[in-house]
Amino acid sequence: MRLGNATSSGSRGVSRSWKQRVLGLTAAALVLPVTAGIAGGVATASPIHGAPVLSAPSGGFEELIVPSGMGPIKVQVQWAARGGNAALYLLDGLRARNDRNAWSFETNALQQFAGDNVTLVMPVGGQSSFYSDWYAPSNFNGQKTTYKWETFLTKELPAFLANYGVSPTNNAIAGLSMGGSAALTLAAYHRDQFKAAAAYSGYLNISAPGMREAIRIAMLDAGRFNVDSMWGPPWSPNWLRNDPFVFAPKLKGLPLYISAASGLPGPYDRPTSALGVYNTANGMALEALALVNTRAFQIRLATLGVPARFEFPAAGTHSWKYWEAELFKSRDMFLDVLNAR
């Protein structure tokens, strides 16, 4: 889907009716291609390193190549300012790129945490993956490798980062849209790894009327991926396993930050071209859908007695500058939980 300024450096880095309305909105919103944040120049990357060094870097930005069952995966990291062992994983959206994680260049996330004792971990790739372990490669687009993102993010990557002094158990996770749903899923099923989670504009009620069909259409649009290769047919239990509304009881006791805006244009929505107008309208529809999902999820948590911080900005569309603001608002939660100040 879509997002300040990237920081790059050399080796070891020195830069620091209601149901009908929901169904109609679901299909209309997710069928639209999300184009914002795809354009933009490519930042100069720092050298890529694949060999662990058994030390904890203090500050700086680096790109690592991490071995996995999917093949080598690029991971962008900003090391903890004072060599601390905490890590915050930042997950991308549906149209995740293969060259950079959008948190690294569409937001000021690097600057937000530059002085903090927490490593930002930004995996690259995973378009339309929901950061899940899939059943099989997508047979619609010639995908050659089966996505195994949950395995990568909860086993292979933390084991690799441990060689750099990053704890596999002192982590938090956040994401937007597709990544927001995935952040809650990974935190719910891997409580030994993740101590807090945040979902910005996530789709948190996947079993709601029309949502499964809409996800199918959206994934076809974003890379021609077949959703049946991910969670199986709509009646497969894996759909329920990955629905935050369903697994919500597993989140009890976990510090949570959940947000979605109204979908009304806000201060970052000032289109100056026909394409800009189209993108704004698209972002309005997607955010309105996320809001419906998030409100339902809020009621679900309240019914279960699971506390969480919910934020509903009066204005804002499905776009990166709003997620940048939400990351900043949840920053204190992460630093406190991870003891990373």
Q: Which amino acids are annotated catalytic?
A: 177, 287, 318
The residues near 53 (Cβ < 8 Å, ≥ 6 apart) are 163, 164
C-alpha distances out from residue 138 to 71, 84, 267, 294, Å: 16, 39, 39, 29
H or E segment at 19? Answer: helix 18-31
**315: which 2 tokens?**
């204005």
SS3 of the chain: helix, strand, coil, percent, to 5: 35, 15, 50
Contact 92, 177 (CB under 8 A): no
Among residues 43, 129, 119, the alpha carbon closest in space to that of 88 is found at 119
**90 closest CA partner among 79, 76, 80:** 76
Measured CA to CA in angstroms, residue 288 lies from 149, 203, 212, 228 at distances of 28, 11, 17, 26
Residue 118's DSSP bridge partners are: 86
- For residues 24 and 125, what is the distance between their CA atoms, to the nearest angstrom? 30
305 Rama sector, left if φ>0, alpha if ψ -120 to 50, beta otherwise: left
177 dihedral zone (left: phi>0; alpha: psi -120 to 50; beta): left
Which amino acid appears at position 72 of this protein?
P
Q: Is the dihedral of CA 286, 244, 195, 84 positive or negative?
A: negative
CB 88 within 8 A of CB 70: no
